[in-house]
Chains A and B, each alone.
Chain A
Amino acid sequence: MNRTKYRVFWNHENEERWLNEMVTQGWALVDMSGLRYIFAPCQPGAYIYRLELLEELPTHVKSYNYLSFLREAGVEVVDSHLRWIYLRRPAKDGPFDLYTDRESRIRHYGRITTLYGIVGIANLPIGITNLSAGLTHFSRYWGNLLAGLVSLTVAGLLLRGAGHYVWQRHLLKQSEDIEE
């Protein structure tokens, strides 16, 4: 009997932590679309889940090659959402981290920052225009006011998220000076 949960995450590491927490309780993610997460029963601790933002959509040849390589390494692609992929590997195969070197992790954070930054910034003019229309003629444009508030909230969350990843990337870059 599968279980469905609804969540929104802007921090993929929190999302990973939550998915792995569910595994310790005996629930493994099998489907993800938008806000909806579907879990199937599993042995507690059976899998390790990881998320990654691909450079291209999963249908792109570059992604295809990468995902084939991952499959050879025993990694299963559970689902994907736009450029995000949800991966898992049986815990018995050992610890599972996609990136074990600083350079790749820095690049990954950079990709996420770029995505959030662009979408976040794009929502600002949309939000402001809608908001001002709604405020000047409330009775006619109250719908726009709502849309404007939503856009600005989304923009705020995404830009806050981008800021988080910029900071994480900065921390990683700082440690480059002394150690490999």
Chain B
Amino acid sequence: MPESTVRGALTEAVYYILLSLHRPMHGYAIMQDVQRRSGGRVALGPGTLYGALNTMVDKGWIMSLGAHSDSRKKEYEITVLGQAVFRQEMLRLCELLAAGAEVWEGGSKDEQDKIQGILEPRE
């Protein structure tokens, strides 16, 4: 039975976990990777991460690779479905940013550069 393709926004935690799992990784490494990528802003609690990983495995967005040969830690990796979900989310974020850029007013030069750096300049 095909799942509905209409999805809500992903939480920041889920977005970053999917991002990290574009490479195989185990629990603690995911926590550190997400923290690094978000500049320390997104800190995943182990309980939260555990729940999120299980939910994403159930939905088929990621898969468990079984224990890594030497460290016996269970690794996870994103699936094809997970990659599609991730791309969809990135496009959703682009839509939000583009809409926001239309009304953007004020702000410092640094802030403006940051936005422009991601969006194509409008003619």
Contacts and interface: CB of A to CB of B under 8 A. Distances in A.
A22 interface: no
B12, B44, B48, B73 pick with most chain A CB within 10 angstroms? B48
Interface in B36-58: 43-52
- How many B residues touch the partner, as a band? 20 to 34
Interface string B1-21: 000000001011100000000
Interface stretch (B24-32, B78-86, B88-96, B112-120): B24-32
B48 A73 contact: no
A66 B44 contact: no
B12 A70 contact: no
Interface in A86-111: 94-101, 103-104, 108
The A interface, classified by DSSP as helix, strand, loop or mixed, is loop
A52 B50 CA distance: 14
A72 interface: yes
Contacts of A75: 46
Contact of A69 (B9, B11, B27): B27
Residue from A73, A94, A98 having most chain B Cβ neighbours under 10 A? A73
Nearest to A108: B47
Contact of B11 (A96, A98, A101): A101
Contacts of A96: 45
Contacts of A103: 51
Interface of B: 9, 11-13, 26-28, 31, 43-52, 73-74
Q: 5 closest Cβ contacts across the A-B interface?
A: A98-B47, A100-B45, A73-B46, A99-B47, A97-B45
